[in-house]
Amino acid sequence: MRILGIESSCDDTACAVVEDGARILSSVVSSQDDLNQRFGGVVPEMACRAHIESILPVMQQALDDAGMRFGDVEAVAVTTTPGLIGALLIGVTAAKAASWALDVPLIAVNHLEAHLYGAWMSGPSPVLPAASLLVSGGHTCLYLTHGPLSHDLLGATVDDAAGEAFDKAASILKLSFPNGPAMAQAALGGDPNSVRLPRAWLDRDSLSFSFSGLKTAMLYHCLGQNASKRDIRDAVYTPRFVADAAAGFQEAVVDVLVRKTRAALQKTGAAGLILGGGVGCNIVLRERLRRECEELGVKASLTSPELCRDNAAIIAGLAHHMYEAGRVAPLSVEAAP
Ligand code: KG4
Ligand code: ZN
C-alpha cells in the first residue's frame, strides 16, 4: 500500500510516499532556514505563509520522485498534532482535500509517535519493550514502548525541550541556522570540560527533564548576569570561546539525556532503546547512547539522522500500521496544537 504522507507541524513543509510502512519511494522537505535566519527564529505567521506556498509543489515533487501520479495514492496521512496550530492546519487541509478528491482513506498521525517510528524505518525492528528517548525542538520525553502504536510516558521536560535549549544557546553564541547542527559543528573544536554548566536532575529517580536553567547559565557564562537581548546583538566572541561554550553546553545536555535514559532502561528492564527526533542527529548523543546500551546489553535502535529531523516519511510509515489497525480518520478530523 502506497501512502502519501504530509508534515507541516513547525517550519518544514514535507511530503513523502512510503510503501507498506517501510519502503521510502520519495521524501521531500522544504525547509524555512533562510526565513528563520532572517527573523531570528520561527515566526508562526511567516511559517504558515511559507507552508501555503510550498505545500503543493512539495507534494507534486514527492509524487514525481516516486514515479507516481495522484491517482496512484492509496491513502493520505498527515500530522494532526502536536505543533503550531496555523502550520498544522495547512497540511491537514491539503490532506483532507487530497483524501476527498482521490476518495482514499485519511490517516491522522501523531508527530511524536512518528518520530519514534523512525527507528523501525532505520534498520531491523527494535527489540521490545524499549525505552524510547524522543528529543526534538518542542519535546523531550521518555517512554516505555511496546510497539509502533503503543507508548507509555515515563517522563517529560517540565520546561524547555532539549532542541529548544540548543536553539537558544546557538542564538546566544550568534551561530547561524539551522541551530542544532551549528552548535554540534562549533562544539567539534571545543573542550567540553573547559566550561562546566549546571545539570538539572530534579527529584531523585525522576525521569523528567529541565533545561531552562541551563539556558540561563549559558547566557550568564557568555554575557554576565542581567544580560539583555541588546547585549547578545552587540556581543563579539572569539572562535575559541564559541567552541568551548558550545562543547560545554552540548556536554551538559547529553549528560542529562543519557543518564536519564540509562535510569529508564534500568527502572523498566527494557531490552531495547529507541532514539528519535531532531536532536537525535547529535553525534555525541548517539555515541554515548550506543556505549550505554553495549554496557547494559540492550539493543540500540537509533533512528538514522536523515529520518530524525522533521520529514513526512515517518508520517506515511507509521500511518500504514494505523491503517492496518483500522485507525482511519473522518474528514472532520481537526488539527490540535
Ligand atoms: O524533530 P525536529 O526536526 O523538529 C521538531 O519536531 O521540533 O527537531 C528540531 C530540533 C531543533 O531544535 C534543532 O536545533 C535540533 O532538533 N537539532 C539538533 C541537531 N540537529 C537538529 N540538536 C543538536 N544536535 C544536532 N546535530
Ligand atoms: Zn519533529
pLDDT for 203? 85
Which ligand lies nearest to the CA atom of residue 32 in the structure?
Answer: 1
Measured distance CA(133)–CA(231) in Å, rounded:
35
Q: What are phi and psi of 21, to 5 degrees?
A: 75, 5
Q: Supply the mean pLDDT for the chain.
A: 96
Q: How confident is the model at residue 128 (pLDDT cuts 50, 70, 90)?
A: very high
SS3 270: coil
Q: What is the mean pLDDT of residues 135-145?
A: 97
- Compute, in angstroms, the gap from residue 128 CA to the centroid of ligand 2: 23
36, 38, 175, 268, 276 from 41: Cα distances, Å:
5, 8, 12, 38, 22
Per the rule left: phi > 0, alpha: psi between -120 and 50, beta: everything else, 103 is left
Residue 230, pLDDT above cutoff 90:
no
Measured distance CA(124)–CA(93) in Å, rounded:
34
pLDDT for 229? 75
Which grid cell is 232?
A: 547578545
Percent of the chain with pLDDT over 90: 91
- Stretch among 190-204, 244-258, 284-298 having the lowest mean pLDDT: 190-204
Q: What is the pLDDT of residues 172-189, one digit of tens each?
A: 999 988 899 999 999 999
Which residues lie with the beta carbon below 6 Å from any ligand 1 atom?
A: 10, 136-138, 163-164, 166-167, 179-181, 183-184, 277-279, 281-282, 309-310
In one letter, which amino acid is 262?
A: R
Take atom 2 of ligand 1 and give the residue whose Cα is closest: 278
Q: Are strands 2-7 and 13-19 parallel, antiparallel or unpaired?
A: antiparallel
Which ligand lies nearest to the CA atom of residue 246 in the structure?
Answer: 1
Atom of ligand 1 at shortest range from CA of 9? 6
Atom of ligand 1 at shortest range from CA of 167? 14
Q: What is the pLDDT of residues 8-59, one digit of tens each?
A: 999 999 999 999 999 999 999 999 988 888 888 889 999 999 999 999 999 9
Q: What is the pLDDT of residues 249-281, one digit of tens each?
A: 999 999 999 999 999 999 999 999 999 999 999
pLDDT for 39? 86
In one letter, which amino acid is 334?
A: E
What's the CA angle centered on 301, arms 296 and 304, to 5 degrees? Answer: 140
Take atom 7 of ligand 1 and give the residue whose Cα is closest: 137
Q: What are phi and psi of 28, to 5 degrees?
A: -120, 130
Atom of ligand 1 at shortest range from CA of 309? 3
Task: List residues bridging with 7 in a β-sheet.
Answer: 14
pLDDT for 36? 87
- For the four alpha carbons of 264, 266, 267 and 273, in that order, the dihedral sign comes to positive
Atom of ligand 1 at shortest range from CA of 308? 1
Is the peptide bond prior to 105 cis by the omega test (within 30 degrees of 0)?
no
